[in-house]
Chain A
Amino acid sequence: MTAQTAGPETLGHLSDEPPPVDPNSKKAEAITGKSPLRIAFGRLARDKIAVVCAAVVLFFVLVAIFAGVICSIFNVDTETVLATTRVNMLNGGLPKEGPPLHGFDPAHPFGVAPNTGNDNLAFWVYGCRTSLLIASIATLFASVLGVILGLLAGFLGGPVDKVISFFTDFFLTVPFLLAALTLAPIVAERFSTSPNYPRIQLIDLIVVLSMFGWMGIARLIRGEVLSLREREFIQAARVLGMPTSRILVKELLPNLVAPIVVSVSLMLPAFVAAEAGLAYLGIGVTSGISWGQTINTASNFFETYPLFLWEPLIGIVALVLALNLLGDAIRDALDPKTRR
């Protein structure tokens, strides 16, 4: 096993190659004591794309968190209304007021859905909440699971490594989409009479997403640990008699922050897209509100009422794109070797 030439702990040295400065100057004071992460953060802040993407992500996060407030500001809600009160039944179920046939309707800034008369803004805002909620919880579970298993497999080695690696490979061989398509109806069938059905569906989706999302990070961490555990500082810790748990948490984990942050930032958009994709396929949160479901309905109206389709579509594209670019930027910032 060869050690990496530049591990994360050496990031600070290889980084920006600051010009030699007088150790007594003010500048030197600012440089000294900077952790690798702070340096990376500094690079991020200078990356214009990263800043814009972060702003976009922040916007969606705020929308998700303050969904209720936003709805009450615009005086809209997700309550079902009787369709005839808002849509014109003689006109293919298109709205009586607002787009696509009439001008802007201040009562429903995003218009209302054809056929059902649901308020598009409210559904958009709460759809954003669903997307981010599912994606972030699934990311949390998947990464915690992946990190723990990766750490254990890499550090303990031997039979533990074999077993964990087997399960990692096993889950990688199971096609995610097929498993999701099979599991969703089983869960739905089992809990269809439960009053908590929508919540169970949500949990089911999070479980499915995290169950098939942890393998990548587990493999990555295992590989990193394999190289790190032969390094001097780990050997030293062992010689000093540090318990294994302490070595894992205090010595190894801090050195793994960079790969974890990178994979989490790339896992989030993948889950957002997966959630929308599953909802589009008719599984996932069918009884709740989701962008994917709106897209599914709206795709039938792409000619007669394009706005209805564009709203959730732009939401998803903007969020996934921003998260992805941000993830890339974070990776670039943390890894000096791939700097542009």
Chain B
Amino acid sequence: MRRNKPLAVLAGAALFGLAACGGSGSNGNDPGGPGRTFSGADAIAKDPQRTAPAADVDGATAGGTITVYLPGDPGPDSLDPTEGWSVTGNSIQQALTSRSLTQYARDPKTGSMVLVPDLATDLGSHNDDYTEWTFTLRDDAKWQDGSTITPEQVAWGITRSMDSDTFPGGPGTEYSQTYFKDAGKYKGPYTDKGKTWDGVSVDGQDITIKMAKPFPDMDYWGAFMAMGPAPLGKASDPPDYGQKIMSNGPYLVESFRPNEELVLVKNDQWDPNSDPARHQYADKWIFKFNQDTAKVDQIMLSDNTESQTALSTRLGSNNYQRANTELGDRLFQQSAQCTSFLSPDYTKITDINVRKALAYAYPYEDMWLATGEVPGVTRVPANSIMPPGMAGKKEFFADGDQFKYDPEKSKALLKEAGYEPGQYKISMIYYEADPLAVAGQKQLVKGFQEAGFTVVNGGYPVQDSPYNIWLNPDDPLNKKLNLRGVNWCSDWPSGLTMIPPLTKTGAAYNTAQFSEPAIDEKMNSITSLPQDQQADAWGALDEEIETKYFPIIPTAFRNDLFVFGSKIGNGVGDGALGAPDYKDLFVVQ
């Protein structure tokens, strides 16, 4: 999953991620406030027995309005559950409006996330080789109009996720269209009108999904709102449905203006006894997208009546010191299961020594500073594709030790590859509309230059999200580039959601154009392994790819900072999505 608009991928852009509670240590003598360090993610447990209603949060009170400021985040364009594949949109909708087969609940004691049932009564059962999954649905879940959610509607929602042409930005393009039956052949209900698809079948309250190949992570995939119900027939026709969705969670959409505001109010048809993890404490939620970071920082630091019941999903680094000292626990550090990469084009930069030289030429800390990150807190050096906390992740180093900015080593490697300093030319783009990205690019050019590379023109400025260039194979500018980037976050804690989307031949976000048939084959075979061996197998594959080919250069693991108002109760993060834990927030009365 990627963040909605990862504008400055080679620079700083907030991403998203996974579990762990913030490290607010208590070495109180430090004048700079509590010391914070980067925190890795906790593993996600599973609890198939979890029953409704959800346990009450300690001290929770009902009522009040919670305002959520989302600085620099445009939010989703559409609320259609099938289309949602962004941290912002999914974290809000999955917690408040749109239910699916399974969901995550936060364990209040450990702070880690637990996968629990949602519309299904358990986490699903499967056959021996994971090619057929059956979920038994509960019969007491209702839509906002009071009608019961039927298994047919859930099956229809799942069928919709097969339509990659209608929902090009949806997660179904990666998962449904890879693992479900007839993947690649059946193009979805809107594109292949009239065709029937027997990938999902309904029998009473049971839904059975057939796979094209073994898919052991179906229970995690079930936590995506795309694996939830949609009204049958015309009522859910895209794109209109995305502007006016039918809610089945504790809140319903009162108004939605894309890029501006989303207002949610209580849904009185939602029954706590039908839901094992959600709560309905606040009366109203107001999400304000695209806010100005500096403005929101001031609002949150002022602690006036307006900001006491508000929270912000970002903190400017210039206010980090002050916020850390003054806010204490209200500044929450959320680890994100995300990794940032530089992607040297595998078809153009063919020498592994040059790719390694790039890893030594990238001025890590200077980049983070210039792009407004807090080195050591919101960014730390990365060594692997899989982020910290992911099961199976190995502590290996592709070149013997952690890559650091080391111009001499870079020059030496370039020499080995047969290039004099300044001879090797790098073509790349940067996002010009963001002054931070421009500042970051200048640092990068300087770093590369001292390390023996020449950046053509100092990078080509673009006015659009770099992804629009990188992901478009026909773009004339994209054809010129030999260095791209990508920020990637896991969709659930498995190497499956990190390694194939980034390194498989032809994968959408394989911006390095990496292609090795041997590796592709290994990826395919891992999903057929017994489940307890898969995590280690992904870790081993990660190491193999990075040490043998080094196609993408991991530059950073990421943490996010959230600021909670003084009257927001239980201000914590959701480790599965790397967002505030909207399910459990309340207003202290």
Q: Tell me the residues in window 311-330 of chain B with beta carbons closer than 8 Å to chain A beta carbons.
A: 316-322
- A33 sits at the interface (CB 8 A): no
Does the CB pair B463–A189 fall under 8 Å?
yes
Given A82-B447, A90-B376, A116–B293 Cβ distance below 8 Å?
no
Tell whether, in the assembled complex, residue B375 and residue A89 are in contact, meaning their CB atoms are under 8 Å apart: yes
Contact B480 A115 (CB under 8 A): no
Query: Are the C-beta atoms of B369 and A116 separated by less than 8 Å?
Result: yes
CB distance from A235 to the nearest CB of B (A): 57
Identity of the chain B residue whose Cβ is nearest the Cβ of A195 in the assembled complex: B457
In the bound complex, do residue A92 and residue B370 qualify as a contact, i.e. CB atoms below 8 Å apart?
no
When each residue 366-391 of chain B gets 1 if its CB lies under 8 Å from chain A and 0 otherwise, what string results? 11111110111000000000000000
Residues of A within 8 A of B446 (CB): 79-82
**Per-residue 0/1 for B451-474: is the Cβ within 8 Å of any A Cβ (1 yes, 0 no)?**
000000110111100000000000
B461 touching A293, Cβ below 8 Å = no
Contacts of A114 in B (CB 8 A): 318
Contacts of A24 in B (CB 8 A): none
A300 touches B316 (CB 8 A): yes
Check A304–B318 contact: CB distance below 8 A: yes
A85 nearest in chain B by CB position: B366
Contact of B463 with A297 in the complex, beta carbons under 8 Å? no
A300 contacts across to B, CB distance below 8 A: 293-294, 316, 318
A255 on interface, CB distance cutoff 8 Å: no
Q: Assess the A304–B322 pair: CB atoms within 8 A.
A: yes
A305 to B322, CA, bound (A): 13
Bound together, the chains give a CA A297 to CA B450 distance in angstroms of 26
Minimum C-beta distance from B18 to chain A (A)? 25
Q: Contact between A282 and B369 (Cβ–Cβ < 8 Å)?
A: no
Determine whether the beta carbon of B457 is less than 8 Å from that of A286: no
- Whether a CB of chain B sits under 8 angstroms from the CB of A93 is yes
**B397 CB, min distance to chain A CBs, angstroms:** 22
Given A188-B461, A192-B461, is A91 in contact with B293 using a C-beta cutoff of 8 Å?
A: no
CB of B461 within 8 A of CB of A287, answer yes
Known contacts A80-B443, A114-B318, A300-B294; A293 and B462 CB within 8 A of each other: no
Residues of chain B within 8 A (CB-CB) of A301 are 318
- In the assembly, what is the distance between CA of A116 and CA of B12, in Å? 13
Docked complex Cα distance between A82 and B446 (Å)? 7
8 A Cβ contacts from A270-288 to B: 282, 286-287
- A82 pairs with B363, CB closer than 8 A: yes
A185 proximal to B (CB < 8 A):
yes
Closest to B405 in A: A82
B438 proximity list for chain A (CB < 8 A) = 286-287
Known: A81-B446, A84-B365, A87-B369. A115 touches B463 (CB 8 A): no
Q: Which residues of B contact A81 (CB under 8 A)?
A: 446
> Are A82 and B366 CB-contacts (below 8 A) given A92-B317, A93-B317, A296-B435?
yes
Tell me whether A116 and B294 are in contact (CB under 8 A): no
Min CB distance, B425 to chain A, in Å? 12
B275 is an interface residue with CB less than 8 A from chain A? no
- Chain B contacts with A in 401-446, Cβ cutoff 8 A: 405, 432-433, 435, 438-439, 442-443, 445-446
The CA of A303 and the CA of B319, in the complex, are separated in Å by 9
Provide the bound-state CA to CA distance between A210 and B317, in Å: 39
Contact of A93 among B293, B363, B369, B433 (CB under 8 A): B369
Q: How far is the CA of A300 from the CA of B363 in the complex (A)?
A: 24
A5 to chain B, nearest CB (A): 55
**With A and B bound together, what is the CA distance between A114 and B320 in angstroms?**
13
Measured CA separation A304–B298 after assembly (Å): 12
Helix, strand, loop or mixed for chain B's interface?
Answer: helix
Residue from the list B366, B374, B450, B480 in contact with A84, Cβ < 8 A: B366
- Whether A192 lies near B317 (C-beta < 8 A) is no
- Of B320, B372, B443, which one neighbours A82 at CB under 8 angstroms? B443
| Complex contacts, A287 vs chain B, CB 8 Å | 432, 438, 458, 461
Known A84-B365, A304-B322; judge A116-B439 contact (CB<8 A): yes
Contacts of B239 in A (CB 8 A): none
Partner of A91 from B32, B462, B480 at Cβ < 8 Å = B32
Name the distance in Å between B414's Cβ and chain A's nearest Cβ: 19
Asked if A75 is at the interface of the complex by the 8 Å CB criterion, the answer is no
CA distance A114 to B319 in the complex (A): 12
Contact status A80-B369, CB under 8 Å: no
CB neighbours (8 Å) of B477 from chain A are: 192-193
| C-alpha spacing A282/B7, complex, angstroms | 15
B296 to chain A, nearest CB (A): 12
User: Across the interface, which residues of B come within 8 angstroms of A185, CB to CB?
Assistant: 463
Q: How far is the CA of A69 from the CA of B317 in the complex (A)?
A: 35
In the bound complex, what is the Cα–Cα distance between A185 and B462 (angstroms)?
9
Task: State how many angstroms separate the Cβ of A56 from the closest Cβ of chain B.
Answer: 29
Given A89-B375, A188-B432, A304-B318; A286-B370 close (CB under 8 Å): no
Asked if A197 is an interface residue, CB under 8 A from chain B, the answer is yes
Q: Considering only CB atoms, which chain B residue lies closest to A304 in the complex?
A: B318
- Residues of A close to B319: CB separation below 8 A: 92, 303-304
CB within 8 Å for A93 and B372 given contacts A193-B477, A197-B457, A286-B432: yes
Task: List chain A residues, Cβ under 8 A from B442.
Answer: 80, 116
Kindly provide the distance from the CB of B470 to the nearest chain A CB, expressed in whole angstroms. Answer: 15
Residue A72, interface by CB 8 Å? no
**Residue among B322, B439, B445 facing the most chain A CB atoms (10 A cut-off):** B439
* Complex Cα spacing A111 to B39, Å: 34
Residues 278-316 of chain A, each 1 if its beta carbon lies under 8 Å from chain B, else 0: 000010001100000100110111011100000000000
Q: What separation, in Å, do the CA atoms of A296 and B480 have in the docked complex? A: 32
Contact A92 B435 (CB under 8 A): no
B127 CB, nearest partner CB in chain A, Å: 53
A-chain residues with CB within 8 Å of residue B320 when the two chains form the complex? 92
Q: Is the CB of B365 within 8 A of A83?
A: yes
Interface string of A164-191 (1 = CB under 8 A from B): 0000000000000000000001001100
Contact at B461–A286, with CB atoms within 8 Å? yes
CA distance A116 to B438 in the complex (A): 11
Give Cα A185 to B431, complex, Å. Answer: 12
Cα A193 to Cα B293 in complex, Å, equals 31
Contact pick for B369, options A115, A189, A195, A296, CB 8 Å:
A115
For this complex, 10 residue pairs linking A to B, each with C-beta atoms less than 8 Å apart, are: A84-B369, A90-B32, A92-B322, A192-B460, A193-B460, A193-B477, A193-B480, A194-B457, A287-B432, A297-B435
Q: A89-B375, A287-B438 are in contact. List 9 more A-B contacts (CB 8 A).
A: A79-B446, A81-B446, A82-B446, A82-B450, A188-B432, A194-B457, A287-B458, A296-B435, A304-B322
The 7 A-B pairs at the shortest CB distance, nearest first, are namely A83-B366, A83-B369, A92-B321, A80-B446, A80-B442, A82-B366, A89-B375
